[in-house]
Amino acid sequence: MSELVFVFQTLVDGLLLSGGYILIALGLGLIFGVVNYVNVAQAEFSMFAMYGTWVLWIALGLDPFLSLAIILPVFAMIGVAFYVSMVRAVRTRDHGVHILMTLGLAFILQNAALLIFSADVRTIRTAYSAASFNIGGVSINIVKLVAFLIAIALFFALIAFLNKTRTGRAIRAVAQDESLAAAFGVNVDRIFMITVAIAIALAAAAGTIMMPHLFVQPMVGQFFVLFAFAIVVMGGMGNLKGALVAGLIIGVVEAFGQVYIGGLAGRIIVFALILIILYLRPSGLFGRSAL
């Protein structure tokens, strides 16, 4: 019985921690699927959002979850600036060029964070940080649960936006056939800009919701983005629903590896999994479906 509870506890821990990674992977997948651009610096925006959330908490005492109301629009604007300066001109060039340019950007952002915030680890511990409740012996941390629920809510909001709104449909249309969409009057450049803005806002949301149970230092993004790439590869490039499922699976795999084998085994399994999937099913477990 207690063994079973332990298994469930590991399962729940793994699931709850996957929310942030899923949001980063969604942004990566969205930019890749619509704009055909590979952004390796995606999680550096999450890192800055974590610092932003931390500053709002330190300076104004703003609750980290409430600070989403500020973080999301601000990072959407940053996403627009990113599109104009880094994406637009090189969009049609090789993926290698995108990766190198965004690596350069990641270098800049990481070291800018180092200059501004130093290498010290920063955390937010709210009054309710340690609060948790119990279901049949499985303990569920409130902060992690809220973070996870926000991530899932943002996922469904994104899907609804893409399916139910005029702009969302135009984003999908551009992803499917750029020239046909343009023929019906869609301003493709504007759609790319909106897509990148949403993707960067999602990355920022990931940072903000992870801040209350994780920590930030200038290099966290490097690890986040690797995890997000693992999710994107497993879920299928540009497949958003695949990213959700793959994110949950990878969260659980890492948790079980860590608990049952110990140390860094969880991460080792996750990155070995990337190579195995690329070998067995390069289109991802769920195929590369369009948006």
| Closer residue to other proteins (CB): 136 or 263 | 263
- Contacts with other proteins, residue ranges (CB under 8 A): 38, 86, 89-90, 93-97, 99-101, 103-108, 110-112, 114-115, 119, 166, 169-170, 172-173, 176-177, 180-186, 218, 222, 226, 229-230, 233, 237, 263-265, 267-268, 271-272, 274-275, 278-279, 282, 289-291
- Taking the C-alpha atoms of residue 231 and residue 23, their distance in angstroms, rounded to an integer, is 10
Smallest separation, CB 278 to other proteins (Å): 6
Smallest separation, CB 219 to other proteins (Å): 9
Q: Are 284 and 239 in contact (CB under 8 A)?
A: yes
Smallest separation, CB 203 to other proteins (Å): 18
Residue in this structure with the two tokens 């343009």, named with its chain if needed: 182
Query: Mutual orientation of helices 2-30 and 188-210 as an angle, nearest 10°?
Result: 150
| Closer residue to other proteins (CB): 68 or 237 | 237
Q: Are 209 and 124 in contact (CB under 8 A)?
A: no
Residue 140, H or E segment = strand 138-141
| Closer residue to other proteins (CB): 128 or 260 | 260
- Taking the C-alpha atoms of residue 56 and residue 133, their distance in angstroms, rounded to an integer, is 28
Smallest separation, CB 144 to other proteins (Å): 23
| Closer residue to other proteins (CB): 22 or 109 | 109
Smallest separation, CB 35 to other proteins (Å): 13
| Closer residue to other proteins (CB): 58 or 108 | 108
Q: What b/e readout covers 188-205, taking b as 16+ CB neighbours within 10 angstroms?
A: beebbbbbbbbbbbbbbb
Residue in this structure with the two tokens 């703003």, named with its chain if needed: 62
